[in-house]
Amino acid sequence: MSSDHFDVLIVGAGLSGIGAGYHLQKECPEKTYAILEGRDAMGGTWDLFRYPGIRSDSDMFTLGFAFRPWKGKKSIADGDSIASYIRDTATENGVDKHIRFRHRVVSAAWSSQEAQWTVETLAGEEQRPVTYTCNFLYFCSGYYNYENGFTPEFAGRDEFGGQIIHPQHWPENLDYRGKRIVVIGSGATAVTLIPSLAFDAKHVTMLQRSPSYVASLPAADPIANLIRKILPEKLAYALVRWKNVLLSMYFYQYCRRRPERAKALLRKLATSSLPSGFDVDTHFKPRYNPWDQRLCLVPDSDLFKAIGAGRASIVTDQIDRFTETGILLKSGRELPADIIVTATGLQLLMLGGVKVSVDGHEVQTGQAYAYKGVMLSDVPNCALAIGYTNASWTLRAELATKYITRLLNYMSSNGYTTCVAPHDPSAATDQGMLNLTSGYVQRGAAFMPKQGSRSPWRVHQNYILDLAEMGYGKVTDQALVFSRNSGAAPRAREESLVSV
């Protein structure tokens, strides 16, 4: 068993992890760090998902890094382009040299006596145990299960004579030309898959239990491309980035404060893109308000165009059972299928599934509270990067990293070895970090950290508020406790949220 020590260990080499590496070496050049990546390639989501049409559901001027302009012509970009952008960013800035591939982190144990983490990994094809230690641990592993997506139990599944596929495990070189395909689901994955499949399939049916809000955006942002022609690259990128941030914030606030008007607007936009007489209210009128769940974006109305051309259709109904030749619905109708795609969602998995403990007590993430949406209560020298639910992931992930670099520099300047945010029972609530009613959020609510009733325990879904607090606000406050005595446990309160 081997061992190695770093000032900072980052878990995950996706957008968040590569960004964290860049900011660490820029803002904390004296700190040593390594990125532990369980897979054999960087890119996270954008290397993992290989289903047809995989693309961003946010514009690349905000999903991209603030420090490296997105140069692609399309604002809504395909998965391969995003993966290349991540790899090129890592290579150009030397972050790739710090990545240790095929190092799957299985446990992380904090010792107050030693003021450090001991991180156990399984490395290489042979899964040999490799141990690391670090002063600070940063989880950039997202919050869903990379191994398995969510698939409900379907009666008669074994009777179906065709293929059943989950998008997270798309078979390489799957031939679906001339096939009848049913895609179960109405979320971002389904609306991405269907237009792409429809080009070569005989027909694609989107089978949904209930509708989602779907809105179209241009794949190429004409305003952004004009600004990039006129202004220098970095200035143009910054302006377009802020334009998109402010527009998305405005639309989100409009939806939340004027839900009935927002519903009418989204319905009008869908109606204008669909064939005359299409039953919009059955298939595109959700039971919830806009942004109670994440809005689905389609570039250049591609989903609506596929429906208009007759290559795709939507059925809103419930599944009774699978049959040998398709799916029998509660209404009695049967949908014939050669391939069934279960685009039924993700499974939440906090901290990459790593077993985390503090002084021998396992951390229960579902009982912890999120300090500034970055640190977990009663867990010392540890942070996690969680993106926005109502905007691009990277916007908040980068703010989290910038705050962590400021925190690390503050600790170094003052000789602190430990920082912790003890649980504050006076700010406790039952509200999770993710303010959504989506199925995957509700299914994983027991594992998701909670947010408090006030700052710094309140999780803002607001870039400007977070920029002020994490980017320019004070590093210290009454909720954060620092210690110079590595031999003494950090102060905690009676309501500690680590279990014995």
Domain boundaries, the chain: 2-146+347-499, 157-218+259-342
Fold assignment, 157-218+259-342: FAD/NAD(P)-binding domain (3.50.50)
2-146+347-499 homologous superfamily: FAD/NAD(P)-binding domain (3.50.50.60)
Within 233-357, residue ranges assigned H as helices are 233-257, 259-273, 280-283, 302-308
Distance, in Å, from the CA atom of 237 to the CA atom of 61, rounded to the nearest integer, reads: 7
The confidence score (pLDDT) of residue 365 equals 93
Residues of the chain with pLDDT below 50 are 1-2, 487-500
User: pTM for this structure?
Assistant: 0.93
Distance, in Å, from the CA atom of 274 to the CA atom of 307, rounded to the nearest integer, reads: 7
The confidence score (pLDDT) of residue 3 equals 59
**Tokens linked to 158:** 């074994």
**Per-residue pLDDT tens digits for 446-478:** 888 999 999 999 998 899 999 999 999 999 999
The confidence score (pLDDT) of residue 55 equals 94
Give yes or no for a contact between 366 and 448, defined as CB atoms under 8 angstroms apart. Answer: yes
| Size of the chain, expressed as the number of residues it contains | 500
Domains 2-146+347-499 and 157-218+259-342 belong to one CATH topology: yes
CA distances to 191, 268, 280 from 276, in Å: 21, 12, 10
The confidence score (pLDDT) of residue 488 equals 42
Under 8 Å CB-to-CB from 189, ≥6 apart: which residues? 51, 167, 343, 345
